[in-house]
Structure formats: structure tokens, C-alpha cells
Amino acid sequence: RAMPSEQPTMRERQAEFTRNEILLAARRLFADRGFTQTSVRDIARAAGVSAQTVYDSIGSKQAVVARLNDLIDSEAGIGAIVGPIAASGDPRQVAALSARITRSMLENCEDIVRALVTGAAAEPELQVVLDEGHRRHVEGARTVVRMLQDMEALAHPADAATSETLAAITDIRFALVLRESYGWSLDRIEVWMTAASHDLLLR
């Protein structure tokens, strides 16, 4: 008897493609129109599918929104950034990791991040997405501090405040303030966040 294949079937690949198209359509519409002004029917039309397909593939509009953090992580290429830096063994690269990720999120997802930040006050579903993104960001900062601790590269013994401070100075909402209120470029934001991270963390 043949062993079952590990490869996804054509139907599974098609289903995954459809889910991705729906999420990308939702992401564009949420960024352009806002969450409230976007219906499941709008998302379906933009994705080239029926509204029922949206419900079958992902679920309600709230379920679509709940997947936005994964989509942002994917568009920002976070996995591709983290892997090589984690493997580098270079404390300066590791210390700059949070700044690098924030820059990539701003570069690739600024429109949807801004839509989430501005819409969260009025829409509890968007606040949930922001809260989850913040949790991931703080956990990423903790991981950076742990990695530097293991490399014996920290300037001072780490405590909870170390990770929180790193998370604060590389927060995407802070980056948006630097962009909008001070007119900083992406390069300037990343350079400043990197220097502040080095000053905070390294010997």
C-alpha cells in the first residue's frame, strides 16, 4: 500500500491560495476604507470570490481581522529577517533585530498598521489585533535580550525593564509618530532605533 503523501493536494493548495487572496483583499480594503466601511461582500468582490467562500475559507469579518498580524508578519518578511541574524552570532546584529523588524513592517505594511492604530479606538476588534501585535513585539524584545544574555554581550544584568525599554524604543506606533509628526525617513528611524538599542543593551 502506498504511504499517504506529505505534499498538500491540489485542492489544499487551491484553498490556501484562496485564503491568501481573501486576506490580501481585506488588508487593502481595511487600509483604504477602514474596518467599518468594509463588508464581507466587499472583501469577496475584491478577492474575486463569493461571500460564502469568505465565510467557508476564513469566517466572519472579525475572523479575517484576527489573521491580520500573521499577514503583516508575512509581508514584512519577519521569518527571513530573524533567521540569518539569530544564526550570525553577532551581538550588534542581534541587538538591532527589533529595529530591523520595525523598519520592515513600516516599509511594507505602513498603510494597514496606520489603519489599525487609528481605527482601534472605535473598533474593539482592531484593538484586539493591536494588542496581539504588541504582545508579539514585546516577546520578540525578550527573545533578543535572552539571546544577548546567552552570548554574554549585555552591558548590565537583564531584568523585565530591559526588554520593556527595548520594546518601547522600537515600537511601531512610536515609529509612526516619528514618520508623521517629525517627517523622519525609514533610514533615519532605523538608524536611531538601532543606536538606541545598542546603547541600551551592549557592552
Long-range CB contacts for residues 7-14, cutoff 8 Å, separation at least 24: none
At 12 the pLDDT is 87
Confidence of residue 2 (pLDDT cuts 50, 70, 90): very low
By percentage, how much of the chain surpasses pLDDT 90?
81
Residues in Cβ contact with 202 at an 8 Å cutoff, skipping those fewer than 6 apart: 91, 92, 95, 148, 153, 154, 155
Mean pLDDT, residues 3-15: 77
pLDDT digits (tens, 9 = 90+) for 80-105: 999 999 999 999 999 999 999 999 99
Mean pLDDT, residues 191-195: 98
Lowest-confidence segment of 59-73, 88-102, 138-152 by average pLDDT: 59-73
Mean pLDDT, residues 96-120: 94
Q: What is the pTM of this model?
A: 0.87
Return d(Cα 58, Cα 73) in angstroms, integer: 18
Average pLDDT, the chain: 93
At 155 the pLDDT is 93
pLDDT digits (tens, 9 = 90+) for 154-191: 999 989 899 999 999 999 999 999 999 999 999 999 99
At 7 the pLDDT is 81
